[in-house]
Structure 1
Amino acid sequence: MTAGEITPFPVIGAWTLRRATGADLDRLVALESEIFRSDAWPHSLWRSELESPHTWYLVVVRADAPAEVLGYAGLLSLPHAHDADVQTIGLSAELRGHGLGRALMGQLHAEARRRGIREMFLDVRVDNPVAQALYRSFGYEQIGVRKGYYQPDNVDAYVMKAVL
């Protein structure tokens, strides 16, 4: 693939993945609040994530309604680094169980490989076994615990790592 070439994103059933844009900001903030009620990212953080040259975000949209954001995932990688972080991943309740979380993770890993990343890291709530199972299926292993990481709920996070 050459610089500037567009990566084709998959279509899964009635949904497709595409790069997130600033036009998605309000819907991302609203969806984040639906998914992560107590510890949702604020508007200002989402704005900085979308504007950062070091992040790469995808959204899940209906194939027939490309402005209707129903899921998202993001990657953070610094120039010349060999490691990257999964910043976030979330799906509306209606999209869970259709393989879209797997599709998002697959695309994050593909982009990380394109950037020369060798190791991926993420944090996941200890009380979210579904997400943990998804991450393990991509080769992530628990390497630590962050006590009280998710606030205000005071829920611990597992730190997980995968070698690409």
Structure 2
Amino acid sequence: MSLPPGLSFASPAPGWARALADFDVRAFGRDAWPFEQWVQELASRRSVYIAIVREGGIAAVPEIVAAGGVGLGPEAEVLTVAVARKERGRGLGGALLDELLARARNGGAEDVFLEVRSRDPIAQKLYSGRGFAAVGLRKGYYSDDDALVMRLSMGEAS
């Protein structure tokens, strides 16, 4: 899927850690990753992060409207997917997920796992629409919810 006009994919540099941490707080509240974790994640060679940003402007870090990451390897893991509240419903989550899955496939993934809130049918529909299936439950994974563990076999992905 192509992105709406005025938006583009970007590979966040380590200097984006503060902006991503702030974005994460707006998206996930108390379940957001702390700044220090974003610093570590952006420096890691075992994972890839992608942002959807608003084009234009002159800031060193453009406006982030969505962000996600995937840990690489034979058993890859979608680490995070978030879309700004005001941008939801435009297909950005699906476009971001598709890009993350392509990176996982290119990184040799045979299976991709993720956790999603057990009470988030919208996110679950996004993932199941891409071929993910529920394989487990992690009680108390989030501060206020359980996590549904989902798996996608790359051999079965369309």
Partners of 1:45 and 1:61 in 2: how far apart?
21
Are the aligned partners of 2:3 and 2:95 in contact in 1 as well (CA < 8 Å)? Answer: no
Equivalent in the alignment of 1:5: none
What is the one-letter code of the residue matched to 2:149? V
* Corresponding residue to 1:35 among 14, 27, 40: 27
> How many corresponding residue pairs?
151
Could you say which residue in structure 2 is the equivalent of 1:67? 62
Contact kept, 8 Å, 1:123 with 1:157, in 2: the verdict is: yes
Aligned match of 1:150 in 133, 142, 145?
142
Gapped regions of structure 1 (runs ≥ 5): 1-8
Correspondence list, 1:35-114, <5 A: 35-65=27-57, 67-77=62-72, 81-114=73-106
CA distance in 2, matches of 1:126, 1:106: 22
SS of 1:34's equivalent? helix
Q: Could you tell me how far 1:10 is from its partner in structure 2?
A: 4.8
1:57, 1:12 → 2: CA distance? Answer: 20
SS at match of 1:67: coil
How far did residue 101 of structure 1 move?
0.5
AA at the equivalent of 1:74: G
1:90 and 1:133 map into 2 onto residues whose CA distance is 15
- The AA in structure 2 aligned to 1:163 is S
**TM-score (norm: length of structure 1):** 0.87
**Residue 71 of structure 1 aligns to which amino acid in structure 2?**
A
Structure 2 regions of 5+ residues with no counterpart? none
| Paired amino acid for 2:68 | A
Superposed CA deviations along residues 38-85 of structure 1, whole A, max 9, x for unmatched, are: 2111011111111111010001101224611121000101xxx41100
Verify the 8 A CA contact 1:11 1:63 in the aligned structure 2: no
Q: Is the 8 A contact 2:111 2:153 kept in 1?
A: yes
Q: Give the Cα–Cα distance (whole angstroms) in 2 for the partners of residues 45 and 10 of structure 1.
A: 30
- Distance (whole Å) between structure 2 residues aligned to residue 116 and residue 76 of structure 1: 11
- Write the letter of the residue equivalent to 2:62: A
Name the residue aligned to 1:163.
153
